[in-house]
Amino acid sequence: MNNVTRRNVLLSASTLATVAAIAGAPSLTFAAAPKQYFQSPGFYRMALGDLEITALLDGTLPLPLPEMYRDVAAEDAAQLLHEAYRDIPTDTSVNAFLVNDGERLILIDTGTGHYLGNEVGHLMSNLEASGYTASQIDDVILTHVHTDHSGGLARDGKALFENATIHVPRRELDFWVETPADARPEALNAQLFKEAEECLRPYLQRGRVKTFQDNEEVIAGVRSILRPGHTPGHSSIVVESGGRKLVFWGDITHGDIVQFEQPDVTIEFDVDRAMAVRSRKQAFVEAVREGYLVAGAHIAFPGIGNVLQEKGHFIWMPINYSDGEGGVIK
Ligand SMILES: [Zn+2]
């Protein structure tokens, strides 16, 4: 084939393909790839001094946040979300966190388990994708007893973390498990008490539940800060290493926009809304003052970042992504 002929063949082939594409005719050259409707596994790893921290995604729930917030008009909350380019309903992460201190494997919160549908409940598969199994967990620490934090503990009356001790704030066990039914606040959904008991019972029966007091060391190197209001014993969990500090602050906020912009905004699940506001402001002010890292259970995955303050309001600043270049996770 001489040059002129080859050029004609190539031209005619490309012309045909173009015509086929324009006409929408099937063509090998322009075959459409089917869309793949899944994400990469939901874990994110970072180092904090000598500690290995792994954020674990339980899933995201599309929540109608403006309807769920309290102490703000729904349209004002919607406006704040729209200004931040957030959709409504807003995909809201449910995160848990794993700490490997070289001796113990410590899980902070356990996700929703099977209680809140198929969009969530993926903690176990993401734990395994991250290189660990449930039987390796030595300690589970709960920031509080709400189904999206304790739901992953058990299934059908069976403990899913067979070798773990479950550490629960004393006030939380008292409130959710040991308060007689007729002494519970009427405004609260009875289902929450039932689910709390279901999740903890397998461990209580085997003597595997330990409680911790306000602002106490939970296990060596891991301490708690009482941040009550969302629930009576809601606690943040603190680890430090190499001069760095990370505070797993539980449900200090739901979402990363509205309650930073307006810390007085509460949410329907808060047991004591005024107290939840005080705790949120204390947590924000301390995080700004000390500049430590924060990990939030309902902030877009991995939910780790810093808090900035600007003229009376606060801003969530997510950590910068690192792929662990050179084999060193930073
Ligand atoms: Zn929660």
**Exposure on the CB side of residue 165, measured as CA atoms within 13 A:** 8
Contact 54, 44 (CB under 8 A): yes
Confidence of residue 24 (pLDDT cuts 50, 70, 90): low
Omega before 64 within 30 of 0, i.e. cis: no
190 in the same domain as 69:
yes
121 in the same domain as 2:
no
Residue 1 has pLDDT above 60, yes or no: no
List, as ranges, residues with CB under 5 A of the ion ligand 1: 148, 251
62 Cβ contact list (under 8 Å, min separation 6): 89, 90, 91, 92, 119
Q: If you measure from the C-alpha of residue 6 to the centroid of ligand 1, how many angstroms do you get, rounded to a whole number?
A: 66
Q: If you measure from the C-alpha of residue 156 to the centroid of ligand 1, how many angstroms do you get, rounded to a whole number?
A: 22
Q: If you measure from the C-alpha of residue 230 to the centroid of ligand 1, how many angstroms do you get, rounded to a whole number?
A: 9
Residue 9 has pLDDT above 80, yes or no: no
* Measured distance CA(277)–CA(200) in Å, rounded: 28
Tally of CB atoms within 10 A around 308 = 15
Q: What is the pLDDT of residue 312?
A: 82
Q: If you measure from the C-alpha of residue 282 to the centroid of ligand 1, how many angstroms do you get, rounded to a whole number?
A: 19
> In degrees rounded to 5, what are phi and psi of residue 306?
-120, 165
Residue 25 has pLDDT above 70, yes or no: no
Question: 22: domain range?
Answer: 1-37
Mean pLDDT of 125-138: 98
Closest CA to 164 of 113, 210, 95: 210
Residue 235 has pLDDT above 70, yes or no: yes
Q: If you measure from the C-alpha of residue 130 to the centroid of ligand 1, how many angstroms do you get, rounded to a whole number?
A: 22
Residue 10 has pLDDT above 50, yes or no: no
Mean pLDDT of 26-47: 85
Angle in degrees, CA 171, 239, 193, rounded to 5: 25
269 in the same domain as 226:
yes
Q: For the chain, what is the domain count?
A: 2
Contact 101, 70 (CB under 8 A): no
Mean pLDDT of 201-221: 98
Residue 218 has pLDDT above 70, yes or no: yes
Omega before 169 within 30 of 0, i.e. cis: no
Confidence of residue 114 (pLDDT cuts 50, 70, 90): very high
Percent of the chain's residues with pLDDT above 70: 89
* Measured distance CA(301)–CA(7) in Å, rounded: 53
Tokens (6 digits) for 119: 């969009």
* Measured distance CA(151)–CA(109) in Å, rounded: 9
The β-bridge relationship of strands 244-250 and 293-296 is parallel
Mean pLDDT of 28-33: 78
Confidence of residue 76 (pLDDT cuts 50, 70, 90): very high
234 in the same domain as 132:
yes
* Measured distance CA(112)–CA(133) in Å, rounded: 17
Q: What is the pLDDT of residue 324?
A: 74
Q: Strand runs (DSSP E) across 64-156, as ranges? A: 69-70, 90-100, 105-108, 139-141, 154-155
- Domain with residue 185: its CATH number is 3.60.15.10
Q: What is the pLDDT of residue 31?
A: 83
Task: Give the tens place of pLDDT for each residue, 139-176.
Answer: 999 999 999 999 999 999 999 999 999 999 999 999 99
Q: What is the pLDDT of residue 157?
A: 96
Question: The sheet that has 235-241: what strands, in order across it?
Answer: 217-219, 222-226, 235-241, 244-250, 293-296, 304-310, 313-318
99 in the same domain as 20:
no
Q: What is the pLDDT of residue 30?
A: 74
> Is the four-CA dihedral 283, 287, 290, 294 of positive or negative sign?
positive
22 in the same domain as 87:
no
Closest CA to 298 of 241, 238, 256: 256
Tokens (6 digits) for 5: 């002929």
The overall average pLDDT reported for the chain is 92
- Which amino acid is present at 154? A
**Model confidence pTM above 0.85:** yes
Percent of the chain's residues with pLDDT above 90: 85
Mean pLDDT of 53-79: 98
Residue 209 has pLDDT above 80, yes or no: yes
> In degrees rounded to 5, what are phi and psi of residue 240?
-140, 145
70 in the same domain as 146:
yes
Tally of CB atoms within 10 A around 77 = 25
Q: If you measure from the C-alpha of residue 297 to the centroid of ligand 1, how many angstroms do you get, rounded to a whole number?
A: 6
Task: Give the tens place of pLDDT for each residue, 274-302.
Answer: 999 999 999 999 999 999 999 999 999 99
Residue 326 has pLDDT above 80, yes or no: no
Confidence of residue 74 (pLDDT cuts 50, 70, 90): very high
Q: What is the pLDDT of residue 328?
A: 59
Residue 4 has pLDDT above 50, yes or no: no
Tokens (6 digits) for 163: 């070798």
198 in the same domain as 80:
yes
Confidence of residue 14 (pLDDT cuts 50, 70, 90): low
129 in the same domain as 93:
yes
195 in the same domain as 299:
yes
172 in the same domain as 25:
no
102 in the same domain as 1:
no
> In degrees rounded to 5, what are phi and psi of residue 316?
-85, 125
Q: What is the pLDDT of residue 304?
A: 98
Q: If you measure from the C-alpha of residue 280 to the centroid of ligand 1, how many angstroms do you get, rounded to a whole number?
A: 14
* Measured distance CA(154)–CA(158) in Å, rounded: 5
Contact 319, 293 (CB under 8 A): yes
Q: If you measure from the C-alpha of residue 83 to the centroid of ligand 1, how many angstroms do you get, rounded to a whole number?
A: 25
Q: If you measure from the C-alpha of residue 312 to the centroid of ligand 1, how many angstroms do you get, rounded to a whole number?
A: 26
